[in-house]
Amino acid sequence: MTRTVGLDHLTLLNLSPPELVTVAADAGFATVGVRISPVTQTEPVWPMAPGSAMLTETRRRLAGSGVAVLDAEAVHLAGDPAECEPVIETAAALGARYLTVLCDEPDLDRFADRFAAVTRLAVSYQVRPVVEFMAFRPLRTMEDAVAIVKRSGGGGLLLDTLHVQRCGVAPADLAELDPALLSYLQICDAPARPDTDLAAEARTGRLLPGEGELPLPDILAALPGTLPVSVEAPSGKDGGDPAGFARRARGAVARVLLQAA
């Protein structure tokens, strides 16, 4: 069984989307996750709107490198789902399979309705919206995330090894998931217990696979053997050498995948 291995943008967030594609290709990654809309107010905002020069350049580098876009980020679904259409259009222009939708809405029923609306909107663009559970956002449990995905009429579930650990999900729980609901797995490592607040850990405190204490081989073994994986582990002090860090990340995930084989 072969897994597609990718590099998520959070790992090297200071790189522009076209730079990310080049670095990922040179490091041996098959896919990238591209942040086309910011998650926080402190991160770079890349001009990736439909028709932009940067979107055109990113598509050119994708075509020239053979790298594909696995996922585009991110939609903050706090209002009218129709407002998300430009982000969906950009994701489609990149050929993204998935579009991450973040839950900042305390009313999960309201969020589920909005997520279903975005899922319907994305059908014509051939992009699948996905949600993930996180201990520091309103959508905190895998059970709630699965219920929202099932209500959506076609959305997917995004898993993240850090959030799996921090939300108390065991590998045996993952093994019970319907594979049809799954999109891909973001992989990183971390201490078994956090030493900082969970949001800060998720955004800046992750480790490369194999450098922490998470049960990564068990998590991988519990999931379908063809489920794509993508490294999401911010580079921190190594950010001064993005190409070198990307190569380290590719080697790290390869070693963990061998352990799980």
Q: Which residues of 63-84 are buried (b: 16+ CB within 10 A; e: fewer)?
A: eeeebbbbbbbbbbbeeebeeb
Digitized pLDDT (tens) for each residue of the chain, 261 residues in all:
589 999 999 999 999 999 999 999 999 999 999 999 999 888 989 999 999 999 999 999 999 999 999 999 999 887 788 889 999 999 999 999 999 999 999 999 999 999 999 999 999 999 999 999 999 999 999 999 999 999 999 999 999 999 999 999 999 999 999 999 999 999 999 999 987 899 999 999 999 999 999 999 999 999 999 999 999 998 765 557 999 999 999 999 999 999 987
pTM over 0.75: yes
Q: Residue 158: CB partners within 8 Å, gap ≥ 6?
A: 71, 98, 100, 130, 131, 132, 183, 184, 186
Could you tell me the two tokens for 113?
């309705």
| H or E element at residue 195 | none
Domain 5-260 -> CATH class: alpha beta
The domain locations on the chain are: 5-260
What is the rounded distance in angstroms from the CA atom of residue 101 to the CA atom of residue 29? 24
Cα separations in angstroms, 197 against 136, 173, 203, 233, 237:
9, 25, 10, 16, 20
Cβ contact 67:25 at 8 Å: yes
- In DSSP notation, 8-70 reads EGGGGTTS-HHHHHHHHHHHT-SEEEEE-S-SSTTS-----STT-HHHHHHHHHHHHH--EEE
